[in-house]
Structure 1
């Protein structure tokens, strides 16, 4: 039987959404310095698939095409969801998930149309099919989203190259050794280092602005990873937290020294609740 405390554990993303914050939030978005990066890569605000899939697929494809990690490691979370739930009699929509996921993975070669469509369909296992109870054949991928994701990945690659991002998120292994009452991290998929900055790469929805939920989630991931002894050398030089949004091509950066000790204590003791 699972430990009762473990049953309370949820992802950092969900914890950041559910934790009740003040109006300004624990990590006020206004503390972040906003910088627009000029680019010639055009991106449309019109998509024909859910924004959650646009965001996740862009990050997954960027990683798959720009880091040395195996595609199986890059897409580990959706592959695991498909494998563990395939043909589950309690999940009628799960028929053939395992085989379909591996088929999609094999089709991902670059930024051609077939690769992008396959990446979108594979990424759907991350949360879309299970959360929305949508069957694979109900996800219609149109030309607008294929073209847009291609451009968003290119913007992400342009940014990553300019700041020198290191360590594919799949390298943050064994994070489950850091125990928490409230949070369980099954894997890291959108966070990177460039030396002195811990980044999250994302794609905002059209019109979306930086939120207190987004900044809290970033802080949660930083506090988890920097606490792990095996990553101490990587994080010893980190002095800033940052978010890059490929849709606006903006960066949002805050100095760790500008985050009060009171906030760090609240996040550690009340939001994350690290095991003593």
Structure 2
């Protein structure tokens, strides 16, 4: 199986990228709190934790089991489902216990995404990490207050996959925008903008009718509290054709 991210790693993009960073407008949102400097958890785990806790807080009625579904599937494949179920039972809110359990649960995403089975050792986030995760989830919720509501989330691209890309899932749709969450310490890069375009093109070929009415592509980075957006109609047709053929394989 080849995921969207794995496929993009294989691609040598034109100079500046298929969609140059400068094509996106950016806007920094206001926040009352600065992030703390000394996290002790790997950035990739923090990013997934912020993503899934945001989903939980947006849809509390669905519960942590739904928000952390990919982690649970990964844990099951690694024969760690009992550990994972204990962790998911500890996730209720944005308190320290919930954040700690979430960080340890999202370790199992790697089983599903790359086949890597993590160690059973429990990670213990320090105070800065706990503060930052809570703040970034709060920023994400504030983002959706301004740019929402969500029309579709945690979606796959059934009907849109190809011989070159056989898996991958997107983050969020609002009425007119496809959104990808990136918890990054620096500015977005060409691989991020290409990933977003691939998601859009696969989405328009998928079973999800919601993609047909989209007008924009967007990235939100809760670490920098910055929104990046691009009008789809400004993307050159030759770029869309090249990515469709050479990257996705349509």
TM-score (norm 2): 0.91
User: Equivalent of 1:215, from 193, 196, 207?
Assistant: 193
Q: CA–CA distance in 2 between the matches of 1:165 and 1:12?
A: 26
Paired position in structure 1 for 2:163: 181
How many residue pairs get aligned? The number is 248
Taking structure 1 as reference, are residues 100 and 272 closer, same or farther at Cα in structure 2, changes over 3 Å only?
A: same
Q: Secondary structure at the match of 1:248?
A: coil
Q: CA–CA distance in 1 between the matches of 2:57 and 2:13?
A: 37
Q: Which runs of 5+ in 2 are unaligned?
A: none
Cα contact 1:155–1:246 (8 A) shared by 2: yes
Asked if 1:40 corresponds to 2:32, the answer is yes
Within-5 A mapping of 1:215-254: 215-229=193-207, 231-232=208-209, 234-254=210-230
Deviation, structure 1 residue 222? 1.3
Cα contact 1:152–1:247 (8 A) shared by 2: yes
Taking structure 1 as reference, are residues 214 and 255 closer, same or farther at Cα in structure 2, changes over 3 Å only?
A: same
Within-5 A mapping of 1:91-130: 97-127=80-110
Q: CA–CA distance in 2 between the matches of 1:69 and 1:133?
A: 27
Q: CA–CA distance in 2 between the matches of 1:44 and 1:152?
A: 11
TM-score (norm 1): 0.83
User: Equivalent of 2:138, from 154, 157, 163?
Assistant: 154
Q: Which runs of 5+ in 1 are unaligned?
A: 1-8, 87-96
CA RMSD of aligned residues (A): 2.0
Deviation, structure 1 residue 161? 1.1
User: Equivalent of 2:238, from 251, 255, 262?
Assistant: 262
Within-5 A mapping of 1:193-208: 193-204=173-184, 206=185, 208=186
Cα contact 1:176–1:184 (8 A) shared by 2: no
Taking structure 1 as reference, are residues 134 and 236 closer, same or farther at Cα in structure 2, changes over 3 Å only?
A: closer
